Amino acid sequence: MRKRLGGSIAALALLALLGFAIFAYGREPATATAFALPAVPFVEAPPTDTDGSKAAGDGEPFVLSNSNGVSRWATVAEPVQVRAEPDAEAQVVARLKTVTPEGTTNAVLALQRVSRGGKLWVQVRLPILPNNTLGWVPRSSLGGYNVVTTHLVIDTKRLSATLYRRGRAVFRSPVGIGQRRWPTPTGRFYIRNKLTKYKNAFYGPLAFGTSARTAVLTDWPAGGFIGIHGTNAPNLIPGRVSHGCVRLRNPDILRLATLMSVGTPITIR
């Protein structure tokens, strides 16, 4: 029985005071002089290709996401004005809320970090129009970093989706994309949330919300976000069939969901 603490100190304190009936612990062979806890190898931190070996000085940006190996996303912890530069006086590019239209915690892809005048700023990928807009927010406006090692690539010419993990392809499937008059936007985006257990066969068994938006259907309700979802018309896939969303056949989207987490960067080309 595992309990998720969910960040609540009350839960933590309660947990500390509650007991569990029985626990088991390993019994290991003796060592000569040292108390032998269960033998644990030297646990090296899993390598990432954003490991720094020198300190980033004031002003020098440090890369947090590079799409090929490691990306980082963070929640929007408080409503914040996004600026064109890492400067509190710079032009406001967007305003981020803490919640998405679907009611999930708002999240942004964190691209790089810089220190200016002793304050940390993070460049983020924004879920706004025009697509592919970036901006800077104070580090203090974001939650903790979450690391993902996956990268989804949608090829609008081959009509395919490929998921890479640390640069290796681990999933491929055909896709349906937007009709030519309602094209699926190209560029770089990220998975913002996951929708499940709704009852709407048009979208299949589950859907992913992305940061991408249709540039042509500007009066679509709820912002016209591009989703990646299943379908009740699998025979249309592959094809140019939608209002901009990326459609997968239902078995494919279910499989993709076991491999791809929220925060995964997306490249649509």
Partner 1 sequence: MTEFTLEELDQDGAIQEAMDGVGGDSRAGFLKKTAVVGGGLVGGGALLGLLAEPAMAATKRDVAIANFALTLEYLEAEFYTEAVRMGALSGKTLNFARVVGAHERAHVAALRKMLGRAAVAKPRFNFRGTTEDEAAFQRTAITLEDTGVAAYKGQAPRIDTIAVLNAAIAIHTVEARHASWIRHIAGVSPAPAAFDQPKSMSQILAAVQGTRFLAAAPRVTTRKAPAFAG
Partner 2 sequence: MSDHLTVDVVDTDVAFREALDESSQETRAGFLQKALVAGGVIAAGGVVLGGLPKLVTAAPSPSQDIQILNFALLLEYLEAEFYAEALRNGALSGETRSFAQVTGAHEQAHVAFLRKALGSRARSKPTFDFKDTTRDQAKFQATAVLLEDTGVAAYNGQAQNLTKKTLAAAATIVSVEGRHAAWIRDIIAQNPAPNAFDPLKTRAQIEAAVGQTGFIKAS
| Residues 9-28 contacting partner 2, CB under 8 A | 25-28
- Residues 32-91 close enough to bind partner 1 by CB under 8 A: 35, 37-38, 40, 42-45, 48, 50-56, 62, 75, 77
Q: How far is the CB of 206 from partner 1 (least distance, A)?
A: 9
Could you say which of partner 2, partner 1, none residue 94 binds, taking C-beta under 5 to 8 angstroms by partner kind? none
Q: How far is the CB of 255 from partner 2 (least distance, A)?
A: 40
Query: Toward partner 1, which CB reaches closer, 126 or 246?
Result: 246
Query: Toward partner 1, which CB reaches closer, 144 or 180?
Result: 144
Among 6, 7, 19, 29, binds partner 2 (CB under 8 A): 29
- The CA angle 139-228-203, to the nearest 5 degrees, is 130
Say how many residues touch partner 2, by CB under 8 A: 15
Among 5, 12, 15, 36, binds partner 2 (CB under 8 A): 36
In whole angstroms, what is the distance from residue 259 CA to residue 168 CA?
Answer: 13
DSSP string, 188-239: EEEEEEEEES---GGG-SEEEEEEEE-SS-TT-GGGGEEEEE--S-GGG-SE
Could you say which of partner 1, partner 2, none residue 203 binds, taking C-beta under 5 to 8 angstroms by partner kind? partner 1
- Residues 38-57 close enough to bind partner 2 by CB under 8 A: 38, 40, 42
- Residues 152-181 close enough to bind partner 1 by CB under 8 A: none
- Of the CA atoms within 13 Å of residue 54, those in its CB half-sphere come to 5
Q: How far is the CB of 103 from partner 1 (least distance, A)?
A: 6
Could you say which of partner 1, partner 2, none residue 217 binds, taking C-beta under 5 to 8 angstroms by partner kind? partner 1
Please give the single-letter amino acid code of residue 71: S
- Residues 108-137 close enough to bind partner 1 by CB under 8 A: 113, 115, 120
Please give the single-letter amino acid code of residue 41: P
Residue 35 interacts with partner 2 (CB under 8 A): yes or no: yes
Could you say which of partner 1, partner 2, none residue 31 binds, taking C-beta under 5 to 8 angstroms by partner kind? partner 2
Q: How far is the CB of 55 from partner 2 (least distance, A)?
A: 20
Say how many residues touch partner 1, by CB under 8 A: 92
Query: Toward partner 1, which CB reaches closer, 7 or 157?
Result: 7
Contact call for residues 162 and 155 (beta carbons, < 8 A): yes
